[in-house]
């Protein structure tokens, strides 16, 4: 994975940094897929997460920055506690995909790269919870999916 | 990603092999839209050898379906792996894209 800074794998967590370069997305998705497999996530969940990350990160790289400079996007994943959760952080312009994106119209002509579009649609469809915060100069998108259904005895 | 192409009667069958992701979706788009713009009017995309398809790849298929529909052509997908099919169903793509369980059913549906 050229240009991709060291992935930190610590048992059940993964941290990845990539530059704002569309060529890094493919390698990023493969790393996310490998992590999901290592953690025993079902193929359906792995695929759904990859679609979400693929689209969200592509949108960040394409639209978040108003300069031509190099920026980093930080992704963290956590597979503890019977779920899969994570965050995506960028230092681009303030943008809350949950409120600032248009809903996709699957019937309409589709632009090559609509802002929001499928990414947020997938995010809301596939994840059990999603969140956004603006923290200092960072956009931080968070998401979580439960993998293990609650059964009597392990509910909080 | 390799893109295998063959004609079966009136149907052009496209079988992408490997991954349609941000590295390969542009050439996938060029190939698919090139075929349609060049006169292909009945297209079956066989997912049986596909390891992964990104949302950019899914958009190409939506574009292709819409273009063929508007020119009275026909489009279908076959042999979708379960994990991809579930995504199609959840996201509503299954209502705009015809999906068949296997290649033969897809071919029959398209008139081969």
What are the domain boundaries of chain A?
Answer: 5-146
Out of A47, A55, A107, whose CB is closest to B87?
Answer: A47
Q: Do A22 and B22 touch (CB under 8 A)?
A: yes
The answer to whether B64 and B36 are in contact (CB under 8 A) is yes
Topology (CATH level 3) of domain A5-146: Heat Shock Protein 90 (3.30.565)
- The pLDDT of A100-129, averaged and rounded, is 68
Structure tokens at A99: 């409120």
Give the mutation candidate from B47, B59, B61, B85 for the A interface (greatest A CB count, under 10 A): B59
ipTM for this model: 0.89
Structure tokens at B16: 């992408």
Domains of chain B by residue range: 2-109
Strand A138-146 and strand A129-135: pairing?
antiparallel
Helix (H) or strand (E) holding B8: strand B2-8
Return the beta strands (E) in A79-128 as ranges: 83-90
User: How far apart, in whole angstroms, are the C-alpha atoms of residue A115 and residue B23?
Assistant: 20
Confidence class of residue B95 from pLDDT cuts 50, 70 and 90?
Answer: confident
Structure tokens at B40: 């292909």
> The domain at B2-109 falls in which architecture?
2-Layer Sandwich (3.30)
pTM: 0.87
User: How far apart, in whole angstroms, are the C-alpha atoms of residue B87 and residue B53?
Assistant: 11
Torsion angle (degrees, nearest 10) of CA B77, B79, B82, B83:
-60
| CA A17 centroid distance within chain | 12
- Cβ–Cβ contact B56 with A under 8 A: yes
Confidence class of residue A111 from pLDDT cuts 50, 70 and 90?
Answer: very low
User: How far apart, in whole angstroms, are the C-alpha atoms of residue B75 and residue A60?
Assistant: 32
Chain A residues whose CB is inside 8 A of the B60 CB are: none
Q: Which residue of B has its CA nearest to A43?
A: B83
- Cβ–Cβ contact B2 with A under 8 A: no
User: What are the distances in angstroms from CA A29 to CA A62, B38, B42, B86?
Assistant: 17, 33, 32, 19
A64-90 per-position pLDDT tens digit: 999 999 999 999 999 988 899 999 999
Chain A residues whose CB is inside 8 A of the B58 CB are: 118
């Amino acid at each position: 994975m050229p240009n991709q800074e060291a992935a930190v794998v610590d048992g059940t967590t993964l941290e990845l940094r990539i530059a704002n370069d569309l060529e890094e997305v493919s390698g990023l998705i493969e790393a996310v897929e490998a992590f999901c497999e290592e953690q025993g996530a079902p193929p359906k969940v792995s695929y759904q997460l990859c679609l979400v990350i693929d689209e969200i990160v592509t949108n960040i790289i394409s639209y978040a920055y108003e300069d031509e400079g190099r920026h980093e996007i930080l992704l963290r994943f956590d597979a503890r506690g019977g779920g899969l959760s994570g965050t995506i952080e960028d230092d681009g312009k303030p943008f809350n995909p949950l409120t600032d994106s248009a809903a996709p119209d699957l019937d309409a002509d589709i632009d090559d790269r609509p802002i929001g579009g499928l990414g947020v649609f997938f995010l809301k469809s596939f994840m059990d919870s999603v969140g956004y915060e603006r923290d200092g100069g960072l956009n931080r998108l968070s998401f979580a999916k439960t993998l293990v259904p609650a059964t009597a005895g392990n509910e909080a | 990603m390799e893109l295998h192409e063959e004609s079966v009667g009136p149907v052009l069958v496209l079988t992408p092999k490997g991954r349609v992701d941000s590295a390969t979706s542009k050439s996938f788009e060029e190939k698919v839209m090139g075929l349609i713009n060049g006169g292909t009017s009945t297209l079956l995309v066989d997912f049986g050898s596909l390891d992964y398809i990104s949302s950019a790849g899914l958009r190409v298929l939506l574009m292709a379906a819409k273009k063929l529909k508007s020119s009275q052509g026909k489009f279908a997908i076959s042999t979708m792996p379960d994990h991809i099919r579930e995504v199609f169903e959840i996201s509503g793509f299954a209502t705009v894209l015809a999906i068949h369980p296997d290649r033969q059913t897809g071919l029959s549906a398209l008139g081969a």
